[in-house]
A and B are shown apart, each in its own frame.
Chain A
Amino acid sequence: MIWLLAASVLGVIAALQQGSLAGGPFRDCEILTYGHIAAAQHNLFVYGWGFNAFFALNLWLLSQLGRFELRNGWLATLGGAVWNLALTYGVIQIFAGNQTGFGLLEFPREVGPVLAVAFLLAGFWPIVAFARRPTGHTFASQWFVVAASFAFPLTYLLAQLLILWQPASGVVQAIAHSWFVSNLLLLWFGASALAAVYYFLPKVLGRTISGYYLAPVAFWSFILFAGWTGPAALIGAPVPLWLQSVGVVAGAMLIIPVIITAINFHGTLSAEGGWSRAWNDTTLRFVSFGAVAFTLFGVLNTVFGFRGYNAVVRFTSFAAGQEQLLTYSFASMVLFGATYFVLPRLTGSRWPSAKLVHVHFWATALGAVASIVALLVGGWENGKQLADASVSFQQVAKAGSTWNTVLCVSAVLLLVGHVAFALNAFGMILKSSAPASAGRHD
């Protein structure tokens, strides 16, 4: 599976770019104006890192669980190459001022179909692996990966069609967009990362998931409610009220899978010194961090869906904080942990430096916590001031500058962590003499 290596490399590059791009504002430079940087960074993180890394991890997981050997690896590699070329083109276009104005669909519309085809080539293999598995028995990780691999291309195509190719009328574009974003975040990032937690926790601890009989309920309730949560991002917007209410209710119902996964994950970790064992294992240290982050995300998502709280934090950095909690503290930390488990088994060599692993963990963990506190607490304070019409907008902006400093520090911390991770990973890949195409090991 050369593909995993390529994916990690590209993913790391994207993550690196993410860290460095989030740096200071450049004045009077059109290419680097905030509207360009913000869009490029967001897309690089999501499509560059999040997708490449989960393509690889999802395929690896289902190959392991389904005893599947990918024979047409070149197809997946081709898909990956196309995906990354299209992505690069899209990001260049954003910097060149050619973007659409819809978050996470900013790439000019010709990129969409290419990404969709690339996804089918690179991201569809987990479903093949599931279909060809020799045993009748299935495991929670497999359901979540199949859901992610199937739901995303469907969502992406429909959203492309109704937003960019045949735009729906007026605010229906915004409604379709909110539906797309919630599906992307929950059904791709959320479901893929949940699959990884369901796999690595019992695997590394060597015990079964506690309350595993609840996992199917978690799966179906998650899949069932996730698709309805989108309009919660449109509370107060000029869209029909019934839509906003559906979004709020679905967001509240999402607490069901959050509670069940909390029982599954934290229950497993709490038994027989699981937490201390997790802390002493590199993979589990990252994965447990992610599991805690997901629970926190779920609770915040439910509480801040309600109109009263939502009215305060609307239009502030709070939503970005929730997204960061899901895509970084949960999904990316789980991905890091998974890489520490998978990469040595693929390359047949060890991680070159234990120190760099520590740097990676502490820098990303502290950076993630700092950025989330800054975005959430900063967003809340900001919203409180905005709600008071006697405080002028300039005063509000000034009051938020402390949190901006914290954000800059956290971006640097994340960058340091990603550099450490990249050095370690590249070091290992270069060192390994075993051909990466050896396929499945253990």
Chain B
Amino acid sequence: MKNLNSLLAGIFLAVAFPFGVLVISSQVQLGSLGPAPAEEGGPLFPSREPGLAIQGRAVYVSLGCVSCHTQQVRPAGQGSDIARGYGVRASVARDYVLQKPVLLGERRIGPDLANYGARAKDVGSVHAAIQHDGQFDFLYTGAKQEVATERAIALAAYLQSLRQDYSSPEAKLKQ
């Protein structure tokens, strides 16, 4: 403790060792995940996002939507996520491999959006939800804020692209 070098070495290990085990080894474990078919020859999931949805994610990040909305469904037995209709199965790591950045979120001031695209009825309802009773009217123009701006259109496309209702090798849906 009197020796600076051994003190610093101890502190360095206390930072580097958890980093190696927690972060690097999970990169090793999960880093090679990619879209995969649930069964031999099936379609690949998660599927590539449309370009408009990628622009929409930028809007989502820019407005800080992640402060109030999560995008993760917990397994049955931990909370009521599945019972509440946030998803048909728990989220798995593979669902997020194409997302940059990954927006898991930490607070649910608003509902979870991991499967928003699967439960939204039509584009109109998505825009109504984005407006949040007038809080986000700045994304719309027109006399009654009924015309969506480019950003709102991209955001809606992004929200509609959010879905984890497919089977994947880790999480097969019951037929």
Instruction: Specify whether A and B are partners.
Output: yes
A-to-B contact residues, CB < 8 Å: 25, 27-30, 33-36, 38-39, 94, 97-103, 106, 127, 130-131, 136-138, 143, 146-147, 150-151, 154-155, 158, 162-163, 167-176, 179, 183, 187, 216, 220, 223-224, 226-228, 230-231, 233-240, 243, 246, 307, 311-312, 314-317, 319-320, 386-389, 393, 397
Chain B residues in 8 Å Cβ range of A230: 18, 22
B12 touches A154 (CB 8 A): yes
* Extra pairs beyond A101-B60, A227-B17, A236-B75 (9, CB < 8 Å): A102-B101, A150-B8, A168-B31, A179-B19, A231-B22, A234-B104, A307-B78, A315-B107, A386-B84
A217 to chain B, nearest CB (A): 11
B143: Cβ under 8 A from any A Cβ: no
The winner among B2, B21, B77, B106 for most chain A CB atoms within 10 A is: B106
A158-B19 CB under 8 A given contacts A101-B101, A143-B7: yes
A316 touches B108 (CB 8 A): yes
A114 to chain B, nearest CB (A): 21
Q: Which residue of A lies closest to B171 (CB)?
A: A238
B78 touches A246 (CB 8 A): no
* 29 A-B pairs in the complex with CB atoms less than 8 angstroms apart: A34-B67, A35-B66, A38-B67, A100-B101, A131-B4, A137-B2, A146-B8, A146-B11, A155-B15, A163-B101, A168-B31, A169-B97, A172-B30, A175-B22, A175-B26, A179-B22, A179-B23, A187-B15, A223-B11, A227-B15, A236-B78, A238-B93, A240-B93, A311-B79, A314-B79, A315-B105, A316-B107, A320-B107, A389-B84
B-to-A contact residues, CB < 8 Å: 1-2, 4, 7-8, 10-12, 14-19, 21-23, 26-27, 29-31, 33, 60-68, 70, 72, 74-75, 77-80, 83-84, 90-97, 99-111, 134-138
A33 touches B30 (CB 8 A): no
Expressed in whole angstroms, the Cα–Cα distance for A162 and B31 within the complex equals 12
Chain B residues in 8 Å Cβ range of A220: 10
Main secondary structure of the interface of A (DSSP, over half): helix
Chain B residues in 8 Å Cβ range of A103: 106
A242 to chain B, nearest CB (A): 9
Expressed in whole angstroms, the Cα–Cα distance for A46 and B114 within the complex equals 29
A389 touches B19 (CB 8 A): no
B107 touches A98 (CB 8 A): no
Expressed in whole angstroms, the Cα–Cα distance for A169 and B27 within the complex equals 7
* Partner among A94, A174, A238 whose Cβ is within 8 Å of the Cβ of B92: A238
Q: Which 9 A-B pairs have the closest CB atoms?
A: A35-B64, A389-B83, A236-B74, A227-B18, A315-B108, A97-B62, A238-B91, A389-B80, A170-B96
* Partner among B11, B66, B91 whose Cβ is within 8 Å of the Cβ of A151: B11
B67 touches A143 (CB 8 A): no
Chain A residues in 8 Å Cβ range of B1: 138, 143, 216
Chain B residues in 8 Å Cβ range of A33: 63-64, 135-136
Q: Which residue of B lies closest to A389 (CB)?
A: B83
A325 to chain B, nearest CB (A): 16
Chain A residues in 8 Å Cβ range of B72: 236-238
